[in-house]
Amino acid sequence: TIMSNTHKARLERRIAGSTNRWRFPKQPFTGDLLSLSQMCKALSIDFEEALRNPDRLYIPQIQKFFCENFKNKDIQSAEADVILECLGFKWELHQPQLFQSETLAKLYLKALTQGTTYPLRELEELLRAQSPKKTKEKSPAKRMIISLKINDPQVTKVAFATALKNLYMSEVEINLEDVLGVLASAHILQFSGLFQRCVDVMITRLMPSTINSFYKAGCKYKEEQLTTACEKWLEMNLVPLVGTQIHLRKIPQDLLHKVLKSPRLFTFSEFRLLKTMLLWVFLQLNYKIQAIPTHETVMTFFKSFPENCCFLDRDIGQSLRPLFLCLRLHGITKGNDLEVLRYINFFPESWLNRITANHYHALENGGDMDQLKDLNTQAVRFGLLFNQENTTYSKMIAVYGFFFKITGLKHDTTSYSFYMQRIKHTDLESPFVAYEHKPVSLRAARLVKYEIRAQALVDGKWQEFRTNQIIQKFGLTKLSCKSHILKIQTVGIPIYVSFAFIFPPS
């Protein structure tokens, strides 16, 4: 008899639908185990967690109720339903707005049902009292006091007030200087709509001064949309923009590593990318310097280390090796630039010897780059930054005695085309200056594997245009000297245009 009574108090058998299933007879659950499991799946709630914490099942339902019935409606009374104690202040809130925040909803429901025998009955009465259909019968709700402790230093009074204001107004302006605090507040409040708005604002306001803090925020909250946006923005702007400002110092090493490995990385040349990286290292080691130093100052700094050991072999440089292994040093072919590599005593001798040997091999074999196979990870890169004022923009490049002109043309406000063209050394505009101390190849044809890529930012999203990977023989006649033309339509400015190529064995 005792066992029977215990069993009855715990579970009882009732008809549920067309089957006879075990179900909970009393609070907190009003359904059987199967329907509870199905409800958990629909609400993306862990079944075992729901058994331990039944309130989780009802918060989404109550949030949906208030969202559907009170959206864009004026507050009926100036009388607050809830007093929130937080950050040393008391904030007056109303039920329909409060339930947009899952954190505040939980605190409120906990306070509402505390000490009651049937907590879910209190919730049902709350919904019944708030139903728009029963406005006339509505009895005054309990005025609750809830407390929220916040230890995040990002959450200031102004930022938290902005977050609470967004419970009442959907288009509250979020200032750039407050956005990190509002994001942190939205995360603590579990206010998903506001959190996403902050992310959207941050993505559209990426710049050298914000890239570091926004990227760290994305990592902190595991917000992939934000971290990806930071990576893509820096891929385009590391060399032409961030690399010219003191904000370069704050770029985290892990972000830098991701960007350097990306095939989308924009640079004017491999040597310009190297200069940017050397400047980044210099700024890490000279934190008191608050202005961008000259290139000569940076070179002199690295040259000042004892010559018995290169910088990357020192303890201070070991952790930076992965960054410099991402660089395509074989793409540095100018004599003066190669002299700089040796002068600064930055790289291991084995690296420099390998670069020199590859250059000699290529020169002896008509430019063939036998060691280079993959265009995405090994190609020599050159770039054009096409700005608003440009209608025609071109640049001359020389590799192993072959001369090419990379060109961009603007046809109208949104139409552009980009291509590369082989130039005969005798046709250069300033022959003596252009190839003094440089080799000149007399080969009539040069096999080239190349790709042209153009990228522009439009409404916070990157547009990317590219040719296929093309293998073409570049001759010196009018019909054979020009590459495939990349034609694009975009309203984005500037346009980042990359020309990547290798000379396969021919």
Same domain membership, residue 408 and residue 297: no
Question: Could you read off the pLDDT of 445-457 as tens digits, one per residue?
Answer: 999 999 999 999 9
Angle, CA 250 vertex, CA 248 and CA 253 arms, to 5°: 95
Among the candidates 154, 170, 205, a domain finishes at 205
- 494 Cβ neighbours under 8 A, 6+ residues apart: 385, 386, 387, 388, 456
In terms of DSSP H, where are the helices of 156-250? 157-168, 179-189, 192-204, 211-220, 224-237
Residue type, 174: I
- Mean of the pLDDT values across residues 79-104? 87
Among the candidates 332, 365, 398, a domain finishes at 365
Residue 300 lies in a domain: yes
Work out the burial of residue 222: count CB atoms within 10 Å of its CB; fewer than 13 is exposed, 13-18 middle, 19 or more buried.
exposed
Please give the Cα distance from 159 to 135 (Å, whole number): 34
Q: Are 160 and 185 in contact (CB under 8 A)?
A: yes
Model confidence at 35, pLDDT cuts 50, 70, 90, reads low
Model confidence at 298, pLDDT cuts 50, 70, 90, reads very high
pLDDT of residue 25: 45
Same domain membership, residue 196 and residue 96: yes
Residue 212 lies in a domain: no
Same domain membership, residue 190 and residue 85: yes
Same domain membership, residue 181 and residue 89: yes
Same domain membership, residue 346 and residue 272: yes
Please give the Cα distance from 358 to 356 (Å, whole number): 5
- How many CA atoms are closer than 13 Å to the CA of 165, on its beta-carbon side? 11
Give CA separation, 127 vs 131, 326, 340, in Å: 6, 60, 75
Q: Are 356 and 478 in contact (CB under 8 A)?
A: no
Count CB-CB contacts under 10 A for residue 285: 11
Same domain membership, residue 355 and residue 416: no
Residue 21 lies in a domain: no
- Mean of the pLDDT values across residues 403-407? 95
Model confidence at 439, pLDDT cuts 50, 70, 90, reads confident
Please give the Cα distance from 47 to 51 (Å, whole number): 7
Count CB-CB contacts under 10 A for residue 428: 16
Residue 10 has pLDDT above 50, yes or no: no
Higher pLDDT, 226 or 62: 226
Q: Could you tell me how many residues make up the chain? A: 506
Q: Are 30 and 16 in contact (CB under 8 A)?
A: no
Same domain membership, residue 400 and residue 332: no
Give CA separation, 288 vs 244, 294, 303, 316, in Å: 17, 16, 20, 18
- Mean of the pLDDT values across residues 100-129? 70
Secondary structure letter of residue 24 according to DSSP: -
pLDDT of residue 353: 95
Please give the Cα distance from 462 to 230 (Å, whole number): 12
Residue 112 has pLDDT above 90, yes or no: no
Model confidence at 500, pLDDT cuts 50, 70, 90, reads very high
Same domain membership, residue 191 and residue 98: yes
Q: What is the CATH number of the domain that holds 105?
A: 3.30.710.10
Same domain membership, residue 115 and residue 157: yes
Q: What share of the chain is helix, strand, coil (3-state, %, to 5)?
A: 45, 20, 35
pLDDT of residue 4: 46
Sign of CA dihedral 308, 310, 315, 318: negative
| Torsions phi, psi for 202 (to 5 deg) | -65, -40
Q: What is the CATH number of the domain that holds 426?
A: 2.60.40
Among the candidates 365, 397, 420, a domain finishes at 365
| Torsions phi, psi for 124 (to 5 deg) | -60, -40
Residue 206 has pLDDT above 70, yes or no: yes
Residue 334 lies in a domain: yes
Residue 370 lies in a domain: no
Same domain membership, residue 420 and residue 314: no
Of 108-122, 148-162, 258-272, 344-358, the one with minimum mean pLDDT is: 108-122
- Mean of the pLDDT values across residues 254-260? 97
- Mean of the pLDDT values across residues 344-350? 95
Q: Are 397 and 406 in contact (CB under 8 A)?
A: yes
**This prediction's pTM:** 0.82
Letter string b/e over residues 240-258, b meaning 16 or more CB atoms within 10 A of that residue's CB: bbbbeeebbbbbeeebbeb
Strands (E), 41-175: 82-86, 89-93, 144-147
Split into its structural domains, the chain has a count of: 3
Residue 162 has pLDDT above 60, yes or no: yes
Residue 247 lies in a domain: no
Q: Are 84 and 146 in contact (CB under 8 A)?
A: yes
Residue 41 has pLDDT above 70, yes or no: no
Same domain membership, residue 183 and residue 100: yes
Q: Is 497 left (phi over 0), alpha (psi -120 to 50) or beta?
A: beta
Q: How far from each other are the two terminal CA atoms of the chain, in whole angstroms?
A: 95
Residue 375 lies in a domain: no
Please give the Cα distance from 194 to 174 (Å, whole number): 10
Please give the Cα distance from 224 to 361 (Å, whole number): 44
Average pLDDT taken over every residue of the chain: 84
By residue range, what is the domain housing residue 409? 380-502
Residue 468 lies in a domain: yes
Same domain membership, residue 403 and residue 354: no
Residue 279 has which token pair? 């400047």
* CA neighbor of 380 nearest in space, from 422, 423, 327, 428: 327
Give CA separation, 232 vs 121, 185, 205, 452, 491, in Å: 51, 26, 13, 18, 18
pLDDT of residue 62: 54
